[in-house]
């Protein structure tokens, strides 16, 4: 390859890398891009640490806790930690109240695994702007060959 072409290629590569770097810096500055995930038990035990911080919280919807204000899309429900995956066993029987306004996915119901994105409020509840739900029975429920490793 002639030298001049090599220079041209290097030049274009620099432009591409530069553009990439700019985009990276740009996206990293946006607070909504990266959100930390926390299991519900961690949030329940260390509520104060998360005040005013946007997080994704994962847990299960407590049985019979879903309340819907009639004629609106204002939901309130309790989220409990995922058993077997807890860092704080003392949170076992505790729940956190989540409030969410909007359309819920079809999979949102009792016992469903949910991931809510939002903020812990000073009163100890969690206001979610986004709600994802996964019905535990729907996909492969059991883990096969458990404990092989």
Partner 1 sequence: MATFGYALLLMTLVVSTYTGSAAIVGHHLKSQRLAVSARYGAFAVFGLLSCASSALVYLFVVNDYSVKYVQHYSDRSMPLFYKATSFWGGQDGSLLFWVWVMSIWGAIAIYQNRDKNKELIPYSLATLMVITVFFVTLMLFNANPFETYAAGAPTDGKGLNPLLQNPYMVIHPPMLYLGYIGWTIPFCFAIGALAHGKLDYGWIAAMRRWCLVAWVFLSVGLVLGGLWAYEELGWGGYWAWDPVENAAFMPWLTGTAFIHSVQVQERRQMYKAWNLLLIILTFLLTLLGTMMTRSGVVQSVHAFAQSNIGTYFFGFIILTCVVSFGLLIYRSKALAPQSGLESILSREFAFLVNNWILLAAAFFVTFATLFPSLFKAVSGKEVNVGPSFFNTWMIPIGLILLFLTGIGPLLSWRKSTGTTIRQQFTVPAIVGVLGCLGLVFGVGITHWKALAALSICIFVSSTIFQEFWRGTRHRMKNAGENAFDALITLVTRARRRYGGYVVHFGVVVMFLGFAGESFKKEIDQTLKVGEKITIGRYDVRLDDLKFEDDGQKTMVTAVTTAFKTGTDISLGQLTPAKWAYRKPADQTTTEVSKRMSISDDLYLVLAGYDGEARTAILQLKVNPLVNFVWLGTFFLMIGFSIAVWPERREQKAKATVRGMAPAMVGATTLALAMLTLVLAFI
Residues that bind partner 1 (CB under 8 A): 1-2, 5, 8-9, 12-13, 16, 19-20, 23, 26-27, 30, 32-38, 56, 68, 70-73, 102-106, 109, 117, 132, 134-135, 137-141, 143-145, 148-149
User: For residues 20 and 146, what is the distance between their CA atoms, to the nearest angstrom?
Assistant: 43
Q: Which CB sits closer to partner 1, 48 or 144?
A: 144
Q: Which CB sits closer to partner 1, 3 or 93?
A: 3
User: For residues 56 and 65, what is the distance between their CA atoms, to the nearest angstrom?
Assistant: 20
Neighbours of 116 (CB within 10 A): 25
Cβ 123 to partner 1 shortest distance, Å: 25
Cβ 16 to partner 1 shortest distance, Å: 7
Q: Which CB sits closer to partner 1, 123 or 143?
A: 143
Q: Which CB sits closer to partner 1, 101 or 121?
A: 101
User: For residues 6 and 62, what is the distance between their CA atoms, to the nearest angstrom?
Assistant: 63
Cβ 139 to partner 1 shortest distance, Å: 5
Cβ 103 to partner 1 shortest distance, Å: 4
Distances, alpha carbon 128 to alpha carbons 3, 13, 53, 87, 120, in Å: 58, 42, 12, 23, 9
Closest CA to 35 of 92, 116, 111, 104: 116
């Amino acid at each position: 390859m002639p030298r001049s072409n090599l220079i041209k290629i290097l030049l274009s590569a620099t432009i591409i890398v530069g553009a990439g770097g700019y985009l990276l810096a740009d996206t990293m500055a946006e607070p909504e891009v990266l959100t930390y995930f926390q299991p519900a038990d961690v949030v329940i035990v260390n509520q104060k640490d998360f005040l005013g911080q946007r997080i994704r919280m994962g847990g299960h919807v407590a049985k019979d806790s879903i309340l819907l204000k009639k004629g609106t899309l204002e939901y309130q429900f309790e989220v409990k930690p995922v058993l077997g995956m807890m860092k704080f066993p003392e949170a076992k029987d505790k729940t956190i109240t989540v409030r969410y306004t909007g359309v819920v996915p079809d999979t949102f119901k009792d016992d469903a695994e949910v991931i809510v994105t939002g903020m812990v409020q000073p009163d100890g509840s969690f206001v979610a702007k986004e709600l994802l739900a996964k019905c535990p029975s729907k996909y492969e429920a059991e883990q096969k060959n458990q404990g092989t490793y």
